[in-house]
Amino acid sequence: MNLEKSKTLKVGICGYGTVGSGTLALLQGNAKEITRRTGVKIEVCRVASRSLQIDIAGVTHCGTDPFEVADDPDIDVLVETMGGFKPAYEVVEQALKNGKHVVTANKALIAERGMPLVELAEQNGVTLAYESAVAGGIPVIKALREGLAANRIDWLAGIINGTGNFILTEMMQKQREFADVLAEAQSLGYAEADPTFDVEGIDAAHKLTIMASIAFGMPLSFENTYTEGIAALTPDDIAYAKELGYHIKHLGIARIENGWVQTRVHPTLISTKQLIANVHGVGNAVLVHGHAVGSTLYNGPGAGAEATASSVVADLIDIARAKAQGLSKPLVPTLGFTKLRTDLRALTIDEIETEYYLRITAQDVVGVMANIAKDLERHGIGIDAIIQKESDGQHVPIVILTDKARESELNNAIAAIESLESVSEPVMRIRVETFGL
């Protein structure tokens, strides 16, 4: 191919941190192969970053104002890797209004404020792409939106935060306390100085919101996603779960049934026989069930410069291919559907039904187990398995796996159990899920 005669897609990058610099490095380092794939030369002409103080090799314009990129008439695509809402939202909005394609790695922006941007992109006939916003280098957005387009998606479940998965893996394999592993994750760069988004599940909830919207063809609705963190988990919980044949993972789960949708992020017991239960370390994995294909699993690196840049550049390649074909509008709708469903209702966490792991710390007295069983039975909750550990002389940990129950009824049963004189601590409750792969 004669590169001089090939078309050129001119790109501006806003934000030059880990993802922005990784994107430029990948585009420059693999330029020949990318051009051979697309028939289009992808050229980064501008980079804007608040902390940018030097020129960047191969980039014509370097500066600190992202709006200069959004307003540059020569730029075809704006890549947003700044993160946060301000000024990211305004920059993306301006670029879309100016008829530019946008590629973003900003999961919070899409999940919480994405609908106006989706509508603006479609009104202007431009692409708003966000593969890199979910699961790093795993191409799960394309899988949901394009590869599984023939399917009705019934449910999906994902380990979609590498920091949380690293912490739980270390706690399981080395019987370490949460706080100790978190400190190590911060020292290794897996967790931020403020780890709230990772350990409280907010980061995973952003990603789950995006996947659920594409899977079920509904508007983005972060406000309906239930979120629960992992800080309360103990090495004992992880050991007891393993004794029962389970691993504990911090999962994002979305289901649709009979017009009801549930989206939730929380610690979850999964059978050790299931593939997703054995994804450890900082890895991510997403399990998707389609009515025709059955269950499919997508596994790989969920973060990092090269992995995330791989997804950013994949979106740029899609735009370059469209340009090579002379397409005036995106071939695939932003959320995968030309018409979104607005009739679906969100199920609250109190309305879900699942099995549960309960850890109850009780005084070592006669009749305590009978009273606990009586309170569960009174609320219609059956017992599937029990582990009663050795007493320390005063207290005994009792671990129960329940049959499937409604969360609101379990809440009532837990309140009754905690009111017993013999129960000395709050009951630990972890949901249990079974998947098809």
Q: What are the distances in angstroms from CA 4 to CA 7, 40, 41, 122, 326? A: 8, 10, 9, 32, 19
CB of 302 closer than 8 Å to CB of 135? yes
Measured distance CA(296)–CA(87) in Å, rounded:
37
Q: How far apart are CA 13 and CA 45, in angstroms?
A: 8
* CA nearest to 158, candidates 437, 405, 347, 353: 437
Beta bridge partners of 432: 269, 355
**Selected catalytic residue, list 207, 249, 323, 329:** 207
Determine how many CB atoms are found less than 10 A away from the CB of residue 121: 24
Dist CA 270 CA 258 (whole Å): 25
Q: How far is CA 430 from the centre of its chain?
A: 20
Q: Longest C-alpha distance within the chain, in Å? A: 86
Instruction: Show Cβ contacts of residue 227 under 8 Å, excluding neighbours closer than 6 positions.
Output: 200, 201, 202, 204, 205, 264, 265, 266
Question: What is the phi-psi region of residue 99: left when phi exceeds 0, alpha when psi lies from -120 to 50, beta otherwise?
Answer: left
Active site residue 242: no
Q: List the one residue out of 266, 312, 298, 283 whose CA is nearest residue 106.
A: 312
Pairing of strands 294-301, 283-290: antiparallel
Tell me the angle at which helices 18-29 and 305-324 cross, rounded to the nearest 10 degrees: 60
Residue 216 and residue 123: Cα distance in Å, rounded? Answer: 22
Q: How many alpha carbons fall within 13 Å on the CB side of residue 34?
A: 26
The catalytic site residues sit at 207
